[in-house]
Every structure is written in structure tokens, then in C-alpha cells.
Chain A
Amino acid sequence: MHKRAFIKVLSGTLAAAVLATGPVSAQDPTKVAFVYVGPVGDHGWTYRHDVGRKAVEAEFGDKVETTYVESVAEGADAERVIRNLASKGNDLVFTTSFGYMNPTAKVAKQFPDVKFEHATGYKQAANLATYSARFYEGRAVIGTIAGHMTKSGIIGYIGSFPIPEVVRGINAFTIAMRKVRPDAQVKVVWVNSWYDPGKEGDAAKALIDQGADIIAQHTDSPAPLQVAEQRGVYAFGQASDMRAFAPKAQLTAIVDEWNYYYVDRTRAVMEGTWQSQDVWLGLKEGMVEIAPYGDAVPEDVRAAADSVKQAIIDGSLHPFQGPIANQAGEVVVAEGETVSDKDLLGMNWYVEGVQGELPK
């Protein structure tokens, strides 16, 4: 009897000792995973997210372990990839495209202990945060430059999908452009893809043939800039500084800057302070940046662009400040008013100065 009791006590102690060694696992690296919609070599959207991933590695060294899966289709495949990442012991999973929203939400429900962050969506949960950048603020800056630099008064704009995010960018660009050059027009071509260098390049050619002397884009490859460089017109880089692809043509680029955010959120997980949130940050917080101006941009235009950027940062200018007219010329946002975040998030109409009909 005594012996048995002793064994019981002993085993109890052993169990306690095993439990006490639990914190050893705290020294295991924090595992952070990323799901990308394109290849890491797209030089645009996905590339910038991967730069953010590397920033996390650089910041925390061997205290983190990062993983990514690239070119994950937005559909049935996404849920499996996200679930596999969650089940393989990742502590924090970033899903970096709008189409991952429902799959991320589904998997988040099944893995309450894993933290999820979804870019550009609107569904949150206790372990699912959302984040996005106010890219439209950058669009207002490049729109200002376009207004100054265009001779033909026609700007070609390559759109991916007619979702509010993209429509908002087109509108912010057009409003800023027409403040400088009230008769300028924006022609939009939709390529129905985020990343398709062939189609993007063809769209740029078509737009230049229609008289556009500046190309703007909301797709992820540098193909349109390369076309612009060949044809001797100007263009804006998208998501990252694409100057290497078009040293003469690139006037500037809107640069997505995820580094700080990814580092901050990883640190929050390490320190146990992570909380679900919904953030939408812009030029002021440094999530959107403007690349160095190209040589073709003269001093006065640089000054004008800088002042728009500064005004957005200090809050004296909102890119969607009234009066704003719709395509029919009716003022829909009165002077002194600005479009609310909620309306910006669901924007599905064009402002005056955009040609063509919004696909619906």
C-alpha cells in the first residue's frame, strides 16, 4: 500500500515537473505565416508583402519563423492552405488578398488560439483582425502630378477588378488631376486580374494608342511601365518602386509599406498583447509612401505634389473633399463635406472626368 501511494506521489510530482517545464516552449520561435495571391516575384503587391515578411525576420531573428505560400487562388484552395498553416503550429497568419476573407473567417472559427489578420476585408472576429492602407491618399498625389504632366489631357488607367478599392483609387486620382487640369479625362481598361503581365501590357498599348500620354495602374506587374518606357510616355509604379523597369517613364510610384505593421503585430503576439482590430492607415502613418520622383518631374510639379502629400498628412486636405460631381456632372458631395469612410469602403460610382461606364 505504502509503495503504491509513494508511486502515486512520485508520478504526481513528475507530472508537475513536466508541467513546470512548459514555459520552455515559450522559447520556441513565434511562427508567422503569409498567404499570397501572386508570386513573390511580381514586383508589386505580393512582393511588398514579402518584403514585410523579411522585415519581421530581420527584426526578431531566430525568435521568429516565417512561412509563405504564394499564388494561392482565391477560391476553394485558399481555405485548405490557411487551415494547413494554422494546423502546423503558426501563431499568426496574414492572408493578403480580399478574396481570402470568407476562407480566413471560416478557419479562424476552427482555430481560436491562432491569430489571423486579413488584408482589405471587412469581417472581424476575436482572433481575426483586418488591416488595409489608404492607398487613395497616394492616388491623390500621383493624380496631381498627372494633371501637371499630361499634354494630351488623356490618362490611361489599368484596373484589375471593379471593386470599391479600385474605383476609389480611380476617383481620388481623377479628382486631384482635375484640380490641376480641369479638362483632363481618365480612360479605364479592366483586365480582370491582379497579375497578368501580358494583359496589363496589352491594355497599356491600347490606352496609348487612344491618346493617353500617362499610364496609371491598379494591377501588380511592371509590364505597363515597360510598355510606357518603350513608347516614350510616362507612367506610375504600383505597390512598389518600379523605377528599375522604366527609369525614364516612371514619374513616381505609390509604395505599400507593410514592414512596421507586420513587425508590430508579430511583437504583439510575442508579448501576448495582440488584439483584434480594424485599421486603415495611410500616408500619415507611413503605410502608404511615395517613391522618389523621376528625373522627368520638374521642380514646380514636385513642390505641388509635396504640398498635396503634406496637406493630407496634416489633415488640411481630404482627397474626397467636396464639391465632387458624378459622371453626369451633378454635385453629389457638397462643398465643405467629405465622403465618409463607410461610403468610401463601398464606393461604386465614378466621379466626373472618368470615361466609360463602371461595369456592374
Chain B
Amino acid sequence: MLRLERRPQNSRTMMYLSPVFALALTLAAGVVLFSIMRVDPAEALYAFFIEPLTTTYGITELGVKATPLILIGVALAIGFRASVWNIGAEGQLTLGAIAGGGVGLALYEVEGFWVLPLMLAAAIAGGMAWAAIPAFLRTRFNANEILVSLMLTYVATLLLSYLVHGPWRDPGGFNFPESRVFHDAATLPIIVDGSRLHLGFALALFVVVATWVMISRTLIGFQVRVIGSAPRAGQYAGFSQNAIIWLTLLFGGACAGLAGVVEVAGPIGQLLPSISPGYGFTAIIVAFVGRLHPLGVLLAGLLMALSYLGGENAQISLNLPLAVTGVFQGLLLFMLLACDVLIRYRIRLRTRSAT
């Protein structure tokens, strides 16, 4: 009989190596998968992981796709470390897009260097306001922040839908549910000529570094880690759990809101009924694949983005169905969880008599 037995001590090195093992195992499983599909595995893996990066445009697109995942993933990772489960980043992203985009539309054709910073600030405030609701309900009434933040996502999506179908609809747009296209002063500057890579990517990198410093070098970071792993110990040390809940949720909301506005003021360029293909949810996966560490999240965000680009490319180059991308992402997560289990536990073979 197989039994899982907790290891007395987890190897720290192995914890960080686990994603690497998982990736290697996923690639191995991919080789099997493609062989069964009668596709040359080397060609398929090339199409998935290498070809999207063979052009400058491809590399910049990787940055474009990864930007919201990194921004949100980093912030969620901090919350998860403190055992605050913000599942509603998608809603906070939407609110950020609404608040930031709303400022852009209100200042339509107003020129000025301050338009864009104002949009970003409004978006951060919008995301924070949306995250403040679960924070308030959790700290005041002990309402489960998972449910509250998740449900608020649907409210946010419907609010955006209402706005683009109604008051913010493009007057010259035949009643189609789209806002006007933002004018230049309300659009993020491009940082690589001829591409779509915008200032948002630089902001994401900045947030990664800033968060890293905060979590590893400041008292707040220490409190987050203590409250997350041993809430009682944190309380004895005089750390306020409520303060940490507020802090992590607001930080999550701020980053998600920022991600929302950089999407609409960046590659999209206007408000649409649906502005994110689920970045707020994918970022949860990114946070865990990145081991809840800012630098890990950066790498995980890029990897996840690459899997999307690779999936598109495999469809174009090899006519592989989209489902393969889904299977691939699923495999990666499965392997990661499996590796984690084997690092925390060991498998013991026991005879029936022993039990």
C-alpha cells in the first residue's frame, strides 16, 4: 500500500527547483503527446516555445501579454503569503480600467502630460476601492473574502458592460458597445518602436522590484510573512491581522487596477465590453507557479504568456488545435503540484499488516 508521509524538513533548494522539474516533465509529456498526435515533437516544441521569440515583434508581444499577469501576480502573491485570498483581481482590474478609462474619456482631446498620470492614479484608486469592499466585510463581519471578491468580479463586468452600452458609447460608432478610441495624450507611450510594448511593462518591472524590497527588507514584509505562517505568533508579537488584511487587499486592488488601465490605454486603446481574457484569474496560477516570490512571479508571468503566444503560433504554423495549449498549461500545473507533493511528502510502501 502506498502512503504519503510528511518529510521532517522541506528542502529549500528543492522548493525553488520544483518549477524547473515541472517544466522539464511537462516538456517530456509534451513529446509523448505530440508523438501520439503524429506531429514531430521537435517541430511542435519549437513552434510552442522558440518560434514566438524569433522576432523582435514576438519578444515585445511577450512583454505585452505578460504585463497584466506580472502586475497582478506579484500583488496576489503578497496576499497569499499572508493567507488573504483575493480571488477577485479580475474585478479590480475591470474597475481600474473603468476609472482610468473614464478619466481618459472625460478628458477627451485634452492635451497635457498630466492626463496619463491622472488616469493611472484613478485606476489605482478604482482597483483599491473595489478591493476595499471585501477587506471591510472581512475585517468587520468576518465575511469570506474569497466569495466577496469573486462575486464582485461579476458586478464589475456588468458595470463596464452598462457603461460601454450606454453613457460611454462612441457617438460615431453606430450604437456598437465600444467607447471612443483614446486620443494620444491618453494612450501609453510605446517603449520599442514598431511594436505594442508600452510603458506598462516598465511599470510591471518596477512593481516587481519594489515588492521584492518591501517583502524582504521592511517590517511590513516581515509581518506579512509571520501572519501568514503563524497568525497566533503574529498576534503575540503585536501585529494586527486586520491591518495586514487591509494592506494586502488594497495592494492587490491597486496593482490589478493598474493592470486594467495599462491594458485599455495600451494595446486595446478603448473601452470594450470585455477587456481581459481572465488575467485576474490566470494571475492566481502565475503567483503559485512563481512560488509567491516577486522574481518567481516575473518568470512565471513570462512563461504563462509564452504558452499563450506559443498556442497561437502552433495553430498558425502546425494547425494544432487550441485545446493543446490548454492541455499544456494543465500539464504544467499538474506537474508542479506533483513535484510539490513529493518535496513535502515521501512515498512509503507499507504492507497491509503494518496498518
Contact = CB atoms under 8 A, between A and B. Distances in A.
A75 interface: yes
Interface string B77-115: 000000000000000000000000000000000000000
A198 B317 CA distance: 32
A348 B161 contact: no
Interface string A231-244: 00000000000000
A55 interface: no
Interface in B54-84: 57, 61, 64-65
Contact of A84 (B161, B165, B268, B313): B313
Interface size class of A (residues with CB under 8 A): 35 or more
Contacts of A274: none
Nearest to B326: A71
A72 B158 CA distance: 21
A70 B267 contact: no
A81 B311 CA distance: 11
B14 interface: no
A98 B176 contact: yes
B302 interface: no
B117 interface: no
A68 B162 contact: no
Interface string B297-313: 00000000000110011
Contact of A360 (B158, B166, B274, B275): B166
Contacts, number: 89
B315 A76 contact: no
A162 B177 contact: yes
Given A102-B181, A359-B162, A75 B316 contact: no
A70 B322 contact: yes
A192 B161 contact: yes
A346 interface: yes
B98 to A, nearest CB: 15
A75 B61 contact: no
Nearest to A192: B161
B316 A67 contact: yes
Contacts of B316: 33, 67, 69, 84-85, 88
Interface residues of B, number: 39
A67 B64 CA distance: 24
A75 B166 contact: no
Given A39-B322, A79-B196, A162 B174 contact: no
B119 interface: no
Nearest to A88: B316
Interface in A83-99: 83-85, 87-88, 98-99
Contacts of A360: 162, 165-166
Given A76-B263, A163-B176, A71 B322 contact: yes
A345 interface: yes
B276 interface: yes
A192 B166 CA distance: 15
Contacts of B176: 98, 163-164
B312 A69 contact: yes
B270 interface: yes
Contacts of A79: 196, 267
A67 B318 CA distance: 9
B6 to A, nearest CB: 39
Interface in A51-85: 67-77, 79-81, 83-85
B8 interface: no
A29 B293 CA distance: 49
A122 interface: yes
B277 A75 contact: yes
B13 interface: no
Contact of B268 (A70, A75, A98): A75
Nearest to B58: A84
Residue in B270, B309, B312, B317 whose Cβ sees the most chain A Cβ within 10 Å: B312
A120 to B, nearest CB: 10
A344 to B, nearest CB: 10
A192 B321 contact: no
Interface string B149-174: 00000000110011001100000001
A161 interface: yes
A67 B319 contact: yes
A301 interface: no
A76 B268 contact: yes
B272 A75 contact: yes
A269 interface: no
B41 interface: no
Contacts of B157: 192
B228 interface: no
B270 A102 contact: yes
A359 B165 CA distance: 7
Contacts of A125: none
B234 interface: no
A333 interface: no
Given A70-B321, A76-B267, A99-B272, A345 B315 contact: no
A198 B345 CA distance: 38
Interface string B272-290: 1111110000000000000
A281 interface: no
A161 B177 contact: yes
Nearest to A77: B277
A347 interface: yes
B269 interface: yes
A164 B175 contact: yes
Contacts of A72: 312
A74 B165 CA distance: 16
Contacts of A69: 312, 315-316, 322
Contacts of B158: 192
Residue in B165, B176, B269, B319 whose Cβ sees the most chain A Cβ within 10 Å: B176
Contact of B312 (A39, A81, A102, A122): A81
Contacts of A73: 274, 277
Nearest to B313: A84
Contacts of A347: 175
Interface of A: 33, 39-40, 67-77, 79-81, 83-85, 87-88, 98-99, 102, 122, 161-164, 192, 345-348, 359-360
17 contacts: A33-B316, A67-B315, A68-B315, A69-B316, A73-B277, A75-B276, A77-B277, A79-B267, A80-B61, A83-B57, A88-B316, A88-B317, A98-B176, A99-B272, A161-B177, A162-B165, A192-B273
